[in-house]
Structure 1
Amino acid sequence: MNFDPSRRVILAGLLSATSVLAAPGAFALSESEARKLIDTAVAEINKIINSGKSESQMYGDFERIFRKYADVPTIARSALGPPAREASSSQMNAFTDAFAGYLSRKYGKRFREFIGGQIEVKSARAVKTFQEVQAVALLKGQPPFEISFMVSDRSGSDKFFDLLIEGISLLKSERAEIGAMLDKRRGDIDGLVSDLKKAG
């Protein structure tokens, strides 16, 4: 199914990460539960970073971690934005799978910069309807920088739905990237899926 780019532009302002992800009422997820999730995820990331594996093997491992600890369907739907409402279920499934691989390659390349270093979880705090788990990346010969994981149990299990690296939101940056890619395809979601499989 195609989505008119002009409609995407008009509707883009109607969708934001908070409107998609915020759940009504008080959240049940505690700070300790959110921190435990990210402690485990970060331990696996650190293990991969310093595993000595090839680049392609590392990307596969990063995708496994992403699918295990992230709310992939929610992230994918938010990144696609308004066109997700027009997409068929099969298109959304294909987009979600392609998007997961794309993100794993893209951010896997960034995490390769951490070889010889590590990520340390520092704290967790309640923010609106979710928990923010703050960590710091320690790289050899470079100043440390912050990484924050936004964690929610809205999907039915504890998952992170956004990642901030040096204050830059994965959701916001990817929504802009995906929107630009979709515009180039004149709203063709199937074409976008094909592009994502080669991107990252």
Structure 2
Amino acid sequence: MTLTRRALLGAGAALALWPAAARAQDVAAARALVDRLVAEVNAVIASGVPEDRMIAQFAQIFQAYADAPTIARYSLGADARAASPDQLARYTQAFSNYVAEKYGRRFREFVGGEIVVEDARAVPNGIEVTTTAIFRNQAPFRADFWVSEATGQPKFFNLIIEGVNMLLSERTEVQALLDQRGGDIDRLIADLSAM
């Protein structure tokens, strides 16, 4: 088979278009993920179930849609490299449960309101899906979900609410908790599990 200049140009054009098509699919998949997440959150908000069940349902939603291992590892910072695989696995589980309940309790503030997905766009570390939270007697506010397919499927790995970055906030909090425990990851795991 002889390669012609036209064939090479055609192949180059196809390769140049592929990343754009892949990005478009990534954007669509990320938006679909947040659409499903928001639909589930809105359904829980509207359900009228008791608060403890609502928090448990929000925690399940967090577990289903968040890239908990990435969030957990980031929160440990440099200490994640020093942790054994067993410690990292136990920490990830304890941290995931802790964060899911923590944010589940925050979601109860959404009762009487709704979250609307506005837009999605590619950003350097994944896809940013912009939403607006609308509540009674409050000004609407922006919440951005950062989504990646690093796990093989779309999951959100960061949430930025009115400029407050969840990853950075959790890292600051975990580092303070770890410092209070003299850098003992096992104590941190035990205490997060008890919270």
- TM above 0.5, yes or no, is yes
Identity of aligned residues (%): 48
The answer to whether residue 116 in structure 2 is matched with residue 146 in structure 1 is: no
How much does 1:191 deviate? 0.8
Name the counterpart of 1:8: none
Match of 1:88 among 63, 84, 87: 84
How much does 1:179 deviate? 0.2
Name the counterpart of 1:32: 28
Match of 1:168 among 144, 148, 164: 164
Name the counterpart of 1:132: 128
Segments of 5+ residues of structure 2 without an aligned counterpart are 1-18
Correspondence 1:105-116 to 2 at 5 A: 105-116=101-112
Superposed structure 1 runs of 4+ greater than 3 Å apart: 26-29
SS at match of 2:194: coil
Name the counterpart of 1:179: 175
Amino acid at match of 1:187: G
1:126-183 per-residue CA deviation (whole Å, 9 max, x = no partner) reads 1114110000000001000000000111111111110011111110000000000000
SS at match of 1:50: helix
TM-score, L = length of structure 1: 0.82
SS at match of 2:47: coil
Amino acid at match of 1:94: R
Query: Alignment length, in residue pairs?
Result: 174
Amino acid at match of 2:117: V
**Separation in 2 of the partners of 1:80 and 1:71?**
15
The answer to whether residue 39 in structure 2 is matched with residue 46 in structure 1 is: no
Match of 1:102 among 98, 103, 108: 98
**Separation in 2 of the partners of 1:80 and 1:167?**
22
How much does 1:106 deviate? 1.4
Segments of 5+ residues of structure 1 without an aligned counterpart are 1-25
Greater C-alpha Rg: 2
The answer to whether residue 187 in structure 2 is matched with residue 191 in structure 1 is: yes
CA-based RMSD: 1.4
Match of 2:56 among 47, 60, 64: 60
**Separation in 1 of the partners of 2:36 and 2:49?**
20
Note closer, same or farther for the CA distance 1:54–1:101 as it changes in structure 2 (3 Å cut). Answer: farther
Amino acid at match of 2:106: R
Name the counterpart of 1:17: none
- Structure with bigger helix share is 2
How much does 1:51 deviate? 1.9
70-79 vs 26-35, which moves further: 26-35
**Separation in 2 of the partners of 1:90 and 1:59?**
29
Q: Which has the higher contact order (CA 8 A, sep 6+)?
A: 1
SS at match of 1:68: helix
How much does 1:45 deviate? 0.9
**Given that residues 63 and 100 in structure 1 are in contact (C-alpha distance below 8 angstroms), is that contact kept between their aligned partners in structure 2?**
no
